[in-house]
Amino acid sequence: MEQWHQPVMLKETVEALQVQPGGRYIDCTVGQGGHAAAILEWSSPGGQLLGLDADPQAIKTAQFTLREYGKSVLLINENFSRLEKVASEHNFRPVHGVLFDLGLSSLQLVDEERGFSFRRDGPLDMRFGPDQELTAAEIVNDFPEDELARLIWSYGEERRSRRIARCIVESRPVKTTLELAGIVAKAVNGERGRIHPATRTFQALRIAVNREMENLMLALEQAVNLLGFGGRLVVISFHSLEDRPVKELLSRETRRCICPPETPVCTCRHTPRLRLVSKGIIRPTSEEIEANPRSRSAKLRVAERIGQV
């Protein structure tokens, strides 16, 4: 039986998007279709949803979940870095709202063959899509020690990155997820905090394999371009690396001037395209965290388009 990925902050997301009957929405990380189903329900009658996901298995699952909505939903197996191109190809612009839920799907975590989890033994893969060339195995076994350490530090914010990289290189070839998790645990002498010692290393590898940061920055810019006047951008992130480009985009697109601080007179002629709907971060309720512990690190940010497309 497939494990259901419980959508995080479902009520807050629908409210942040201001879902309305007849509205058009894009879910850039459709997953199993939890958020998408709620958006379609609240936008009925006449609502439409374009759902993207880089994972073909997620698209298959979402097709089943959203089957009752028929032609109101269009699901595309594509990375959100091509968001604007996909929307244009299907005449799906402008839109009333764009959603990014950047959390990893339960389906990906429980499938040993995908190699995402350090708790299940499987190949070192970690690709969202099978057509991607780079795998975690190639990074772990082929990257130079210095580059491996830099990657683990940059994408995992792991302070013991050099020690971990050295132990990985000394243990090559590394073939499975549990083998790698054991090497990382040994490298940190079994030190345990709130999280498993391999958590940050696995996060770093997954981000590198899927070029998550580069693709997110590209997609956020495109999302703003697709929003109609009054349209909402909603992003749910789960760690500081994901949240940082979101904050940077919102900071830039809500300001009139983006010149460097030392510039005496504004020359950028920048026009703000967004306004913050909520100046602070929206977090899950204590009740949700108790029911779904994975939601505890979620941060929701929302902004509204203020310029014409």
Task: Dump pLDDT digits (tens) for 118-148.
Answer: 988 999 999 999 999 999 999 999 999 999 9
pLDDT, residue 112, reads 82
Architecture of domain 112-210: Orthogonal Bundle (1.10)
pLDDT, residue 107, reads 73
The pLDDT mean for the chain works out to 93
Task: Dump pLDDT digits (tens) for 54-101.
Answer: 999 999 999 999 999 999 999 999 999 999 999 999 999 999 999 999
Task: Dump pLDDT digits (tens) for 10-28.
Answer: 999 999 999 999 999 999 9
pLDDT, residue 191, reads 61
Report the 3 state secondary structure along the chain.
CCCCCCCCCHHHHHHHHCCCCCCEEEECCCCCCHHHHHHHHHCCCCCEEEEEECCHHHHHHHHHHCHHHHHHEEEEECCHHHHHHHHHHCCCCCEEEEEEECCCCHHHHHCHHHCCCCCCCCECCCCCCCCCCCCHHHHHHHCCHHHHHHHHHHHHCCCCHHHHHHHHHHCCCCCEHHHHHHHHHHHCCCCCCCCCCCHHHHHHHHHHHHCHHHHHHHHHHHHHHHEEEEEEEEEEECCHHHHHHHHHHHHHHCCCCCCCCCCCCCCCCCCCCEEECCCCCECCCHHHHHHCHHHHHCEEEEEEECCCC
Mean pLDDT of 101-124: 87
Task: Dump pLDDT digits (tens) for 245-269.
Answer: 999 999 999 999 989 888 888 888 8
Domain range list for the chain = 10-107+212-305, 112-210
Q: Pick one of 3.40.50.2300, 3.30.70.141, 3.40.30.10, 3.40.50.150 as the CATH number of 10-107+212-305.
A: 3.40.50.150
pLDDT, residue 72, reads 98
